[in-house]
Structure 1
Amino acid sequence: MFSKYPIKVDYKKEVLAGLTAFFAISYVIIVNSMILAEAGIPPELSVFGTIIISIIGCVAIGLFAKVPIVITTGMGVNSFFTYTLVYSLKLSWQEALAVSFSASVIYLIVAYTPLTNLLADAVPESLKHAITTGIGLFLVIIGLEKGSVIVKGDHTFMQLNDFSSPLLLMTLFTLVLTLFLFFKGIQGSFFIGILITTVITNVFNIIPREKSLFSLQAITDYPQIVGKLDFSGFLSGGFILGTFSLAMILIFESMGLFNGILPGIDNHRFKKAFRVNGIVMLFSSLLGTSPTIPAAESSTGIQEGGRTGITAITVGICFVAAIFMIPLLSFIPSSALAPVIIITGCLMMQNIRFINLVDLSEWFPAFLMIVMMAFSMSISDGLAFGFVAYPLVKVFVGKIKQISKMTWVISALFFAYLIVKIWI
């Protein structure tokens, strides 16, 4: 699907794919800022860092790697930034930005050396497909939660929401509408579903719109958080531990997402995309925000027909427009976005058919990776459980020769990552 050979470009389809991907990921503009606010970064300022780095990331990967991938601040990575680096390791947000910068440097060292191929080739085929499937299930749960189809239960961690919920009913309406358009092969089905639901909910005031906390005027104060990296604790245990852990997450989560979102991508384009992300990631800390990764929601644009960098550039242009329309983003209800995310996750989960379900030594590590990604709500934690389990199970069944030296190294690093999580 994403080979090195040139393909005929359908510009209309690429632009529609870009619009769809942007609306699917647009929530990151507000949500990322609110998560970083708990680390001490003013949300009305960090929102501009989120937008600017997304513009740079999408345009750069579209121009230089020519892939339909959205590069933006990572959901999950931003939680690590706030709750691990700042809350657990007691770093200031300025020191956490310095940790992000240092971890990005390690990422770039891997990206521009043979380590990239060594690490990519060391991932067993079953785990490669498990990454795609796990990300798919992860997206499905996000979509169900985002659309209020599932909520936290009184005695369980999730349950079906009450059908009196307008948000739930609108999500189901949009899901049926979008599926109908999708199965009929109507171009722009995802985007049309988002647009129709947004119009209906706002015209009839079905879902009350929350007042926006952000304004364009705050951009004049944005330079206050630019370039505020603090390396004063560079040799402290917390700084070193945070850098190592974050580098592990960024390298393997990005690698997994690129391979998961772009199945069949050739090595040349993979390397370009991987390197572009590393350079953009380096700038994210300078701009006062958390590190960037390829967004799983990029798949919504790909399912809409995005095949080239034009899709990514379109998303970048949308992020430019978002600077001037931050308050207007609150008009798009989550019930309009959730079905797109659910359907995309479902399509990604089809990769489970490539995993050998008969051989339990292949299936169990893959299964563990899939369920842990989804139910821990962390792609990096899912990766860790899968990679640690793989050599362990192979040893148990006497197939130790199937484990390469680099696979052992990756497993050991992820085991160290899990130990670090226990320690902090």
Structure 2
Amino acid sequence: MAQFFKFKENNTDLRTESVAGMTTFLAMAYILFVNPDILAAAGMDQNAVFVATALSAAIATLVMGLLANYPIALAPGMGLNAFFAFSVVIGMGIEWQVALFGVFCSGIIFTILSVSNIRETIINAIPAEMKYAAGAGIGLFIAFIGLQNTEIIVADDATIVALGDLSNPSVLLTIFGLVVTVIFLVIGLKGGIFFGMVVTAVVGMIFGVINTPDSIVAPIPSLEPTFGQLFTIDFSSVFTLQLLIVILTFLFVDFFDTAGTLYGVANQAGFIKDNKLPRAGRALLADSTAGPIGAILGTSTTTSYVESAAGVGAGGRTGFTSVVTALFFIVALFFSPLLAVVTPAVTGPALILVGVMMASALKQIDWNRLEIAIPAFFTILAMPLTYSIATGIAMGFVFYPVTMICKGKAKEVHPLMYGLFVVFLLYFIFLK
């Protein structure tokens, strides 16, 4: 095993890798409860999504560890699950089974791109600032969902949104959880978001805001309500411009989020050599195949997690870290009764603070260049205000060629960006 994972070459050992794998799991374990909560809004069975989340994370992380030998874990992505539930299913009125088919298609396309040179062409075609804007906008959107689900922010006839009732016990529990989780993160506690959820749930049960579960361990729930449901749709009516936009958005967000995560975590681990990532093709292949697997199981796009940096910080340097993380996800399958205590008050702080982390991409945008700042701003602003990640990306990609042409930099715009301009313009004309 030491030879297979190259412990000696990476200056690590079994104990260090095991601790790192557990650390990574704790840092991202919140997804086991947040993802079912979000996809339940799309009408999906919460228990089945819990199983799909754990299985997709375990399988994808195991593939990453064994194929690419990297300490990078995967799970259904935050932002992509929100886009799936709130923009595609609720916003566009698309059935969740069809949305899963969209996830499946985007994953297949991503896999093809990952084994070809087209990947580099697409990465180079889209300006870095627009990628950062998309990430930051998704962060704000996720935070807004967290504030709304917990009723810290409520609807208002006069101002559209307003501050909720702060005397509501559930709202107070959310605020408590937010403060506790902030403290955990600021002091650098590994798995701060997960432990914040645990403390919030325990306090909620003590004060009667959350019902105490009948048990902690139980048989694994049935996966039948979601497994393979994407293949039960009417294929004669799914290939529409609307679904094409959905597939492109899933692909875009996953594609660049994956690239950023892989290179960011790899750089922290010291793997980057001459600005290149060794075994990048294997890592991207492992990530891209995770999407179709997750869709078949019954969850939104599975992708690489930046929380893997926690495991790297604990000393993880090889794929064995990922193997350990995958095993923890398998063990987690037996703890489904805990879903009963994971209410919006418990998941809300996690959503809000994940939003904070994603919004850090704002610092990468050159706000002094208006030809860049304007499309980036509309991308970021439109996502929470229109309740749609797709609309935010579309708006930014429509403005970008226009501002660049007006600045006299039309030749600096890649032809692919002009193609996307036409696609998203049609999106506004026919779908909005």
Residue 295 of structure 2 is aligned to residue 292 of structure 1: no
Q: Which residue of 2 aligns with 1:404?
A: 414
Q: Which residue of 2 aligns with 1:253?
A: 253
- Give the drift of 1:161: 1.3
Q: Describe how 1:3-402 pairs up with structure 2 within 5 A.
A: 11-12=18-19, 14-33=21-40, 35-37=42-44, 48-65=51-68, 66=70, 68-72=72-76, 74-75=80-81, 76-78=83-85, 82=89, 87=93, 93=97, 101-208=104-211, 216=219, 219=222, 222=223, 226-227=227-228, 230=231, 234=235, 236=236, 238-241=238-241, 244-259=244-259, 261=261, 264=264, 266=276, 271-287=281-297, 289-294=298-303, 298-299=305-306, 302=309, 305=313, 316-402=326-412
Say if 2:211 and 2:341, in contact at 8 Å, map to a contact too. no
Say if 2:295 and 2:301, in contact at 8 Å, map to a contact too. no
Distance 1:175 1:45 in 2: 28
Map Cα deviations across residues 325-382 of structure 1 (whole Å, 9 max, x no partner): 2222222344344334333322332332221212211100110111122333333332
Say if 2:258 and 2:303, in contact at 8 Å, map to a contact too. yes
Could you tell me which amino acid in structure 1 is paired with residue 367 of structure 2? Answer: L
Distance 1:270 1:142 in 2: 34
- Give the drift of 1:164: 0.6
Map Cα deviations across residues 49-91 of structure 1 (whole Å, 9 max, x no partner): 4443333233333443535443227412255664588x55xx8
Distance 1:224 1:185 in 2: 39
User: Structure 1 356/132 Cα, relative in aligned 2: closer, same or farther at 3 Å?
Assistant: same
Could you tell me which amino acid in structure 2 is paired with residue 292 of structure 1? Answer: T
Structure 2 gap segments, 5+ residues each: 1-8, 267-275
User: Structure 1 100/84 Cα, relative in aligned 2: closer, same or farther at 3 Å?
Assistant: farther
Task: Give TM-score, length-normalised by structure 1.
Answer: 0.78
- Give the drift of 1:237: 5.5
User: Structure 1 318/23 Cα, relative in aligned 2: closer, same or farther at 3 Å?
Assistant: farther
Distance 1:300 1:104 in 2: 22
Q: Which residue of 1 aligns with 2:4?
A: none
Q: Which moved more, 1:185-194 or 1:166-175?
A: 185-194
Say if 1:384 and 1:414, in contact at 8 Å, map to a contact too. yes
Q: What's the Cα RMSD here?
A: 3.8
Could you tell me which amino acid in structure 1 is paired with residue 303 of structure 2? Answer: P
Distance 1:187 1:243 in 2: 39
Distance 2:420 2:129 in 1: 15
Q: Which moved more, 1:251-260 or 1:300-309?
A: 300-309
Say if 1:137 and 1:346, in contact at 8 Å, map to a contact too. yes
Distance 2:30 2:369 in 1: 40
User: Structure 1 334/84 Cα, relative in aligned 2: closer, same or farther at 3 Å?
Assistant: closer
Structure 1 gap segments, 5+ residues each: none
SS of 1:148's equivalent? Answer: coil
- Give the drift of 1:14: 4.7
Distance 2:390 2:283 in 1: 19
Q: Give the length in aligned residue pairs.
A: 402
Could you tell me which amino acid in structure 2 is paired with residue 396 of structure 1? Answer: C
SS of 1:294's equivalent? Answer: strand
Distance 1:420 1:268 in 2: 44
User: Structure 1 348/282 Cα, relative in aligned 2: closer, same or farther at 3 Å?
Assistant: closer
Sequence identity of aligned pairs in percent? 24
- Give the drift of 1:185: 3.6
Distance 1:19 1:79 in 2: 27
- Give the drift of 1:417: 4.2
Say if 2:174 and 2:345, in contact at 8 Å, map to a contact too. yes
User: Structure 1 97/387 Cα, relative in aligned 2: closer, same or farther at 3 Å?
Assistant: closer
Q: Which moved more, 1:17-26 or 1:356-365?
A: 17-26
Map Cα deviations across residues 70-114 of structure 1 (whole Å, 9 max, x no partner): 3227412255664588x55xx894x76666544543333333222
Distance 2:181 2:230 in 1: 45
- Give the drift of 1:43: 6.1
Distance 2:430 2:117 in 1: 27
